[in-house]
Amino acid sequence: MTLGLVNRLEEEILTGALRPGERLVEESLSARFGTSRTPVREVLRILEAKGLVTTRVSRGAHVREISWKEIEDLYAVRAVLERMALELASRHLDAAYLRRLEGKLLRMRQAARRGDVRGYFEVDNEFRALVFGACGNEILIELLRNLERRVQQLRYALLSLPNRLPEAQAHHEAIVAALKRGDGRLAGELRRRRIEGSKVLLGRFFRHLGWGAATADARGEP
């Protein structure tokens, strides 16, 4: 029961059916899902741990809101750390590990052809955990996990934009090709450029996605 509720509410948050700042009332959710408040309370705790919900004593549970300043900070750090992780991972990837990455690529390619955003997103998460886990630096891996938790909504929103799945797939294919050649610097640079481009794209769609207004610089305006 709990896992099913987690998946349903997570889907609604990621797809925007539940908007940033929207209140999540235990009583209403219990009535909606036909369950007691105890499993609902547990679901909200799980979603909070995933970075999708915030809970305050005075306000209760809400879908987590994201400011433009937070996005700027997150994406600046991501660009540095993910580039570093790929450069380090390129030194440790053997043939068996590369085959596992290619297996993820195949599943992502299939999801992209179907236009399956949720399916692509889930395999993308697996791909990222696999490649970053190869960097060999436990502190870096922990930092990246914490960052991932805070950008789930943003990444899903971007993948939902028109033509974004084929673009994302081309990026992943290029990353793996660079890693197979042992060129960690290129893989890291490709990742840095992608993250910076994603931030610009978020700036253009920030208000439309329901998070507020971005700055002119973020929207790419003069």
- pLDDT of 207 reads 63
Task: State the Cα–Cα distance between residues 176 and 156, nearest whole angstrom.
Answer: 21
| Distance, CA of 166 to CA of 8 (rounded, Å) | 26
The domain that contains 92 carries what CATH number? 1.20.120.530
The label of the residue with tokens 């305050």 reads 56
33 lies in the same domain as 132: no
CB 24 within 8 A of CB 32: no
CA torsion through residues 53, 55, 59, 64, sign: negative
Same domain, 87 and 195: yes
110 and 88 in a single domain? The answer is yes
How much is the pLDDT for 217? 45
Same domain as 148, residue 169 = yes
Q: Are residues 54 and 113 located together in one domain of the fold?
A: no
Q: Look at residue 212 and tell me if it is in a domain.
A: no
- For residue 210, the model assigns a pLDDT of 56
Both 79 and 58 in one domain: the answer is: no
**Domain that includes residue 28, residue range:** 2-63
Is 86 in the same domain as 193? yes
* CB proximity list for 17: less than 8 A, separation 6 or greater: 11
Contact status, residue 63 vs residue 18, Cβ threshold 8 Å = yes
Rounded to 5 degrees, φ, ψ at 56 are: -125, 145
Identify whether the C-beta of residue 82 lies closer than 8 Å to the C-beta of residue 135: no
User: Please, are residues 55 and 61 in contact by the beta-carbon 8 Å criterion?
Assistant: yes
Q: What is the pLDDT of residue 215?
A: 47
Q: Answer whether 37's CB lies under 8 Å from 30's CB.
A: yes
Residue 218: predicted pLDDT: 44
Query: What is the pLDDT tens value at each position of the chain, 222 positions in all?
Result: 577 888 888 888 887 788 888 899 988 989 988 888 888 989 899 998 888 898 887 778 998 888 889 999 999 999 999 999 999 999 999 999 999 999 999 999 999 999 999 999 999 999 999 999 999 999 999 999 999 888 888 899 899 999 999 999 999 999 999 999 999 999 999 999 999 999 999 888 766 655 554 444 444 443
Element (H, E) at 140: helix 138-159
The verdict on 91 and 176 lying in the same domain is yes
What are the C-alpha distances in Å from 197 to residues 26, 75, 138? 38, 10, 28
For residue 63, what is the enclosing H or E element? strand 60-63
* Residue 142 and residue 122 share a domain: yes
Q: What pLDDT score does 221 carry?
A: 41
Q: 37 with 97, same domain?
A: no
- Give the per-residue pLDDT at 152: 87
The reported pLDDT for the residue numbered 166 is 96
Contact between 126 and 104 (Cβ < 8 Å) = yes
Number of domains into which the chain is organized: 2
Give the model's pLDDT for residue 14: 82
Q: Are 148 and 74 part of one and the same domain? A: yes
Tokens of 155: 């990444």
